[in-house]
Amino acid sequence: MTHGNVSFISTAGGLFALLAATANGADTIRQYQLAPGSSGYELQLQEVAHPTAQRDQVLVRVRAVSLNRRDLSMLNGQYGPGGAAANGVPLSDGAGEVIAVGANVTRFEVGDRVAGTFFERWVDGAPAAEALGSARGGNAAGMLTEVIATDANGLVKIPDHLSFEEAATLPCAGVTAWVALFERGGLQAGDFVLLEGTGGVSVLGLQLAVAAGAKPIITSSSDEKLARAKQLGAFGTVNYRKNPEWQREVRALTGDDGVEHVLEVGGRDTLPRALEALAYGGHMALIGGLSGFASDVPVGGLMGRGVSVTGIYVGSRAHFEALNEFIAEHRIRPVVDRVFDFEQAPAAFELMDSGDFFGKIVIRL
């Protein structure tokens, strides 16, 4: 069946059914795979052989995973280069516990609580092509599986105060917000930050900015979601449906000085307005394209405002470790909108497709 642009496999009873084996023995695990469908891919729950840890690998019992917009694009076959492969395992983000380590592994031991890095082989510094080619999701390294064997360099320990569900929200959205604000943006206390919408990157960016003493301003079409953002510490909120020229409201909240930082996730429809909201010398982090990617770069506007623009493609393991230190120091708890059971994974994709959520969507394994 199809919901919006998302294709699922359905049963005669109309439920989101899964192609699953009838038993899950000690030598097998369950994992979702992407099967070619009439439009993009369809989720299938399969029983496969239990993986083993090679000399440089760690075996992780995955306990929770989270969804990103990228995962929906992969399911729909719309991601482009580096997208999903037939029979690939979906989702880049997951957390769990170490159940075995290879002979050469010294970074982890059995029982450690860990999360996978978005890029399995980007440890630090500038990424090489090989590192960028190791992004999880839609391939053998995807996280929507009960157990994963992964390079030991592709894991980080998670803060003690976080649940597996909370930690699973961080590998993509959390690291993206961290790199955009701190590593590339140089966020300082008192800076104004514009956050578009109330999805994973924006809400985690809101929490990080509040903890750093910045002044986040967030947009949404929902007053209810804006009220939740206020509870999390938002300095200001703007309903873009009620205020089509919302950039003017944003500037007014800054005393017309403009914001020092923008997490630009909207794309074609939001970029021109976000640029107008920027202060002279501000920083715009290009992250997503919910309305489609802008093909025309407003060079004159960028030069006239003296702003810097950075394309953000998540980050390295070192970035993730820095994020975790900050989260532990400030006792930040990521916002989880809803947790689905493993067998309900298709319903989690459906919720992502609807846009009717605040923060992150999680699946518990």
Q: Is the pLDDT of residue 206 over 90?
A: yes
Q: Is residue 180 part of a domain?
A: no
pLDDT digits (tens, 9 = 90+) for 66-116: 999 999 999 998 887 777 888 999 999 999 999 999 999 999 999 999 999
Statement to judge: residues 144 and 276 lie in one domain: no
Spatial contact of 213 and 238, defined as CB atoms under 8 Å apart:
no
Whether 45 and 126 share a structural domain: yes
166 and 224 in a single domain? The answer is: no
Cα–Cα nearest to 77, from 18, 5, 4, 1: 5
Residue 329 lies in a domain: no
Q: Domain range spanning residue 260?
A: 185-311
The pLDDT of residue 294 is above 90: no
pLDDT tens digits along 34-67: 998 888 899 999 999 999 999 999 999 999 999 9
Q: What is d(CA 87, CA 287) in angstroms, rounded to the nearest whole number?
A: 28
Q: What is the model's pLDDT at position 99?
A: 98
Dihedral, 143, 170, 177, 289 alpha carbons, nearest 10: 30
Same domain, 266 and 358: no
Are residue 156 and residue 9 in the same domain, yes or no? yes
Check residue 40 and give its pLDDT. Answer: 86
- Domain of 203, CATH number, reads 3.40.50.720
Q: Are residues 77 and 148 in the same domain?
A: yes
Q: Are residues 25 and 137 in the same domain?
A: yes
Between strands 192-196 and 215-220, the pairing is parallel
pTM of the model: 0.90
Shared domain for 269 and 350, answered yes or no, is no
Q: Answer whether 365's CB lies under 8 Å from 35's CB.
A: no
Which own/partner pairs from 211-214 qualify as long-range (CB within 8 Å, at least 24 positions apart)?
211/326, 211/330, 211/332, 212/181, 212/182, 212/187, 212/188, 213/189, 214/181, 214/187, 214/188, 214/189, 214/190, 214/261
Residue 205 pLDDT class (50, 70, 90 cuts) = very high
Same structural domain, 24 and 162: yes
Does residue 150 sit in the same domain as residue 54? yes
